[in-house]
Structure 1
Amino acid sequence: MDDLVENIYAPIEVGEGVALTRTERREQQARRILAAAKVCFVRSGFKGASMQEICAEVGMSPGALYRYFPSKEAIVEAICEADRREDAVLFARVLQEPDVVEGLVLGAMAHIRHMHEDDNAKLFAEICSEAMRNPAVETTCMKNMVEVQQMFAAYIGKAIERGEIDPPVGLDALLPTLMSVAHGMALNDLPAMGVPYEKLEILFRAMVVGMLRPTASGRV
């Protein structure tokens, strides 16, 4: 499945009269299934949405759909894996920011924008809710979270070693707290509630400054 997941969101450029290859057709069908599943998960919830409902939404027989994804958990895994790959590219750029406060703010705001502008907040709120009662979904979510935590742990840890910040607690408490706040802001889709991005950025920066406590040397 990994090879399929790696390419399912890649755009396929097909000129008029050009036939798709077997691989391209498979990728195109996988994208259609995932798009339909997202609609069903948001509309009916993960538990309420059945594979039959997804089949009806995508216009595909159960036998055909099961050849791509054998279960709803497999569909969630594909959705999360694609999102993880997008996050990895985004955060790789964010972590090049030399000012750790600005880097964390950039990362949080990018995550909030992604959830809001791509209409993913309700979907991932449903997935996170299902993870609390479904071990397979929990494993998928934890895999993604651990990878992001490792990236930012190294980023913040180096800033501590350089003497640029002096947080009041260790990374074991600091990092999950920072991530929970940023993720919570994104899942609650505050921009949809009328809170402007500019104000969210001001608030998140103030929180990060208070938690990281930049030193004089870090501000030079």
Structure 2
Amino acid sequence: MTAVVQPDPIELTPRESAQDARRSQILDAARTCFARSGFRGASMQEICLEAKMSPGGLYRYFPSKEAIIEAIAQDERCGAAELVETMRGTGPLLDRMIGCAMGYFAYMRDPGACELMAEISAESLRNSEIGKRFAKIDDSVRDVMREVLTEAIEKGEMPEIADLDATIGVLQAAVDGIALRQIHDADLSLDRVEPLLRRLVAGLLGMKA
């Protein structure tokens, strides 16, 4: 067998590292402002204050609020893709799906994460361009779920489902609903959610919990 030589990791220069750090600082500040004031209510000045940057410094990275929203959408797409890929693998299907959902719930417990999700959902209904940006995230998650469940059916891991797309929609609605519920119910811990979600998903997929 021929050995494969792995390329050396790419090292960021101090300038690149500083630029990445400043970009992340701006996006984190914007997320906080959007969660607090909404996409419409948050101004570039508010984001500057939250990021502790001058307007000139911020505009070097993002020329507009729309550019910041686009960057957040891209980051969310990358994060969603990384998380949803955990549904693939060789372990029991139910364990993989629950593991993915619990990872999402843990992420949504970060300060402002649920509030930002709620703002994204509301603004997506009012603003078609923002809706299109974040709809891509939802579509990518649905596509992976469809692939994973179709493969599981073909392998005999779960029974045939008459309406797979509707089932996926209900699963997504349940997971998103639980995530948002964390805003109002601080006692809804991950330990309490996990066994209940396992029973719910198993029931929808016709599997044993």
- TM class by shorter chain equals 0.7 to 0.9
1:107 and 1:144 map into 2 onto residues whose CA distance is 15
The structure 1 residue matched to 2:46, chosen from 53, 77, 80, is 53
Per-residue deviation at 1:157?
A: 0.8
Per-residue deviation at 1:169?
A: 3.4
Name the counterpart of 2:76: 83
Name the counterpart of 1:93: 86
The structure 1 residue matched to 2:170, chosen from 177, 193, 198, is 177
1:107 and 1:191 map into 2 onto residues whose CA distance is 22
Name the counterpart of 2:18: 25
The structure 1 residue matched to 2:156, chosen from 143, 157, 163, is 163
Over aligned residues, Cα RMSD in angstroms? 2.5
Confirm or deny that 1:152 pairs with 2:145.
Answer: yes
2:113 and 2:54 map into 1 onto residues whose CA distance is 26
Per-residue deviation at 1:57?
A: 2.1
Query: Any unmatched runs of 5+ in structure 2?
Result: 1-10
Deviation track 1:39-70 (CA, whole Å, cap 9, x = no partner) reads: 21122122211112112222333343233223
1:105 and 1:45 map into 2 onto residues whose CA distance is 31
Contact 2:86 2:99 in 1 (8 A): no
Distance change (3 Å), C-alpha of 1:68 and 1:119: same
1:157 and 1:133 map into 2 onto residues whose CA distance is 34
2:160 and 2:95 map into 1 onto residues whose CA distance is 16
Q: Which runs of structure 1 show a deviation greater than 6 angstroms over 4 or more consecutive aligned residues?
A: none
2:161 and 2:149 map into 1 onto residues whose CA distance is 13
Query: Any unmatched runs of 5+ in structure 1?
Result: 1-11, 14-18
Identity of aligned residues (%): 35
Equivalent residue pairs, number: 199
1:20 and 1:196 map into 2 onto residues whose CA distance is 41
Name the counterpart of 1:121: 114
TM-score (structure 1 length as normaliser): 0.80
TM-score (structure 2 length as normaliser): 0.83
Using the TM superposition, name which of 168-177 and 137-146 deviates more.
168-177
Deviation track 1:159-190 (CA, whole Å, cap 9, x = no partner) reads: 11223222553212111111111122112326
Using the TM superposition, name which of 122-131 and 183-192 deviates more.
183-192
Query: Matched residue of 1:34: which SS?
Result: helix
1:28 and 1:129 map into 2 onto residues whose CA distance is 30
